[in-house]
Amino acid sequence: MDWGLKNRLARIIKPQDRRGVMLAVDHGYFLGPTEKLEEPRKTIAPLLSLADSLMLTRGVLRTSVDANFPVPVVLRVSGGASIIGKDLSNEKITTSVKEAIRLNVSALAMSIFVGAPHEHESLVSLGNLVNEGEEYGIPVLAVTAVGKELEKRDARYLGLACRIASEFGAHLVKTYYCENFEKVVNSCPVPVIIAGGPKLATELDALKLTHDAIEAGAAGVDMGRNIWQSDYPVAMIKAVRAIVHQNATVKEAQEIFNKLKDVKKAVKAASSA
């Protein structure tokens, strides 16, 4: 692997433990003003120093993230469909590699839609993006998108999608956690990280999901809603970090979450007294 590419990847997946906590805030590119991400700057600011990297679009990066803060950026460069449109798989590359270099990004990210109407275009785009990324030493994160069909999240489908992404040269793959997740990880020769998906009923559920994924071999998370849709996002990202980087158990992570939540509650009560 070329030095530049290896160095950029090391900003995302930390070489010390080969794991990473990526904070996903790219949802607006097809969901518009997602709940609790209506004002991206407000959502991102308290979490910035707690994420190993930040996944987002150029629009949110330029408008809502302080350029003086040295957080590694994973730039979403695909798009072109919306949640109210006909087909979420109808994406193309929308941001150039030249622009990514101008923004000093650590990786490029795009979605692939295996088994969807625009499967072919998304896979060819992935191959082309890897070609360009390799030319400039920029790694590519492939997101195995499932569109509205959340039931696609099983080991057979996700294993197929992740493996295909790696065969096209993706340096890192993001997918969903599922039963028998070790099969997905073991058949994908590049690091696999998990999205959290829609917010789960409780923070404990999200911590269990993170723990199960790490135990099955995931290299970390690219998590959004289960962090910033929590009423205690800072406590949540710290608890997730403990699982990813310190091998914390679910119980230990929950204790971290509860402790920080209680402090926050006490501070709020004191300031409104």
**188/172 Cα distance (integer angstroms):** 10
Q: Which listed range, 20-28, 39-47, 178-186, 252-260, lies at the site for ligand 5RP (CB under 6 A)?
A: 20-28
Q: Does residue number 233 form part of the binding site for ligand 5RP (CB under 6 A)?
A: no
**64/72 Cα distance (integer angstroms):** 15
Q: Which listed range, 4-12, 21-29, 134-142, 180-188, lies at the site for ligand 5RP (CB under 6 A)?
A: 21-29
DSSP 8-state assignment for residue 105: -
- Among residues 122 and 270, whose Cβ is nearest to ligand 5RP? 122
Residue from 8, 26, 191, 257 in contact with ligand 5RP (CB under 6 A): 26
**Quick count: other Cβ atoms within 10 Å of Cβ 260?**
17
Find the catalytic residue in 174, 199, 238, 261.
Answer: 174
- Among residues 229 and 254, whose Cβ is nearest to ligand 5RP? 229
Closest contact distance (angstroms) between CB of 273 and ligand 5RP is: 35
Q: What are phi and psi of 96, to 5 degrees?
A: -80, 160
Contacts within 8 Å (CB) and 24+ apart, 112-115: 112/142, 112/143, 112/144, 112/145, 112/161, 112/164, 112/165, 112/168, 113/88, 113/89, 113/145, 113/147, 114/144, 114/157, 114/160, 114/161, 114/164, 115/152, 115/157, 115/161
The alpha carbon torsion through 222, 225, 227, 233 (nearest 10 deg) reads 140
What does the per-residue mask of binding to ligand 5RP show for 192-231, with x meaning CB under 6 A?
Answer: ---xxx------------------------xxxxx-----
> Interaction with ligand 5RP in 35-74: which residues (CB under 6 A)?
55
- Among residues 6 and 36, whose Cβ is nearest to ligand 5RP? 36
14 a catalytic residue: no
**DSSP alpha helix (H) spans, 79-118:** 97-102
Residues with a known catalytic role: 174
Binding residues vs ligand 5RP (CB under 6 A): 24, 26-27, 55, 111, 143, 145, 195-197, 222-226
